[in-house]
């Protein structure tokens, strides 16, 4: 049975557990594009979260698919919560940027919208797990641009990226913190150094 927006909506409820929402979205991975559009247009958080989660599940089968990335970007104005970004940005956006160019990340990082800036910093997490050191370094460049961002929606993912990238390129993390650490918001700095602190115990 072909998934439809109405069938997805029937499986959603306000305040439902994320695991159940993800299961509902996974079951709708084959939803046609026009039906997915209806979910993006819905006012409820759950419907829109399901739509971005469906994109994430679709990207697992279509890694690097530019059409999925375009769908994410066209509907970025439907994102009003950080977890929508975190769910989809690495696989849907980051995987399309392996090997560069990285202009999209810098365009997003320069946006006045903090959630677009979060996408710029969250998408490169794909590089840390699946790509080479040159891509990881490109993520460091985005973190450099955003290192002093005052918005927690942005500076927390800066710290998270640095923590994970520091496992891959520890010398780069040390150099980054030496140069920018004093200017970073303290929550971001603590996140960036959490792995270093653990190893020092």
CATH class of the domain defined by 100-201? mainly alpha
Q: pLDDT of 2-43, one tens digit each?
A: 999 999 999 999 999 999 999 999 999 999 999 999 999 999
Q: pLDDT of 96-143, one tens digit each?
A: 999 999 999 999 999 999 999 999 999 999 999 999 999 999 999 999
Chain region(s) in the chain for CATH 1.25.40: 100-201
Q: Is 161 in contact with 128 (CB distance < 8 Å)?
A: yes
Q: Is the pLDDT of residue 57 over 60?
A: yes
Q: Is the pLDDT of residue 195 over 80?
A: no
Write down the pLDDT at residue 1.
Answer: 83
d(CA 177, CA 143): 11
DSSP string, the chain: ----HHHHHHT--TT--HHHHHHHHHHTTT--HHHHHHHHH-SSHHHHHHHHHHHHHHHHHSTT-HHHHHHHHHTGGG--SHHHHHHHIIIIIGGGGTT---HHHHHHHT-S-HHHHHHHHHTTHHHHHHS-HHHHHHHHHHHHHHTT---HHHHHHHHHHHHHHHHH-HHHHHHHHHHHGGGS-HHHHHHHTHHHHHHT-
Average pLDDT of the residues in 178-190: 96
Write down the pLDDT at residue 194.
Answer: 81
**Cα angle value 140/90/132 (rounded, 5°):** 50
Q: Is the pLDDT of residue 196 over 80?
A: no
What's the pTM value of the predicted model, to 2 decimals? Answer: 0.94
Q: pLDDT of 17-28, one tens digit each?
A: 999 999 999 999
């Amino acid at each position: 049975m072909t998934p439809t927006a109405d069938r997805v909506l029937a499986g959603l409820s306000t305040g439902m557990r994320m695991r159940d929402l993800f299961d509902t979205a996974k079951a709708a991975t084959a939803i046609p594009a026009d039906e997915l559009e209806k979910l993006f247009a819905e006012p409820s958080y759950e419907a829109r979260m399901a739509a971005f989660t469906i994109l994430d599940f679709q990207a697992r089968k279509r890694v690097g698919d530019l059409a999925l990335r375009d769908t994410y970007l066209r509907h970025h104005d439907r994102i009003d919560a950080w977890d929508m970004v975190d769910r989809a940005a690495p696989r849907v956006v980051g995987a399309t940027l392996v090997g560069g160019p990285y202009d999209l990340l810098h365009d997003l990082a320069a946006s006045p919208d903090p959630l677009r800036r979060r996408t710029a910093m969250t998408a490169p997490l794909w590089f840390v797990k699946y790509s080479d050191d040159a891509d990881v370094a490109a993520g460091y460049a985005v973190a450099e641009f955003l290192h002093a961002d005052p918005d927690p929606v942005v500076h927390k993912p800066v710290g998270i990226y640095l923590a994970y990238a520091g496992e891959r390129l520890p010398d780069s993390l040390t150099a980054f913190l030496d140069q920018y650490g004093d200017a970073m918001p303290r929550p971001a700095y603590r996140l960036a150094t959490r792995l270093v602190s653990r190893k020092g115990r």
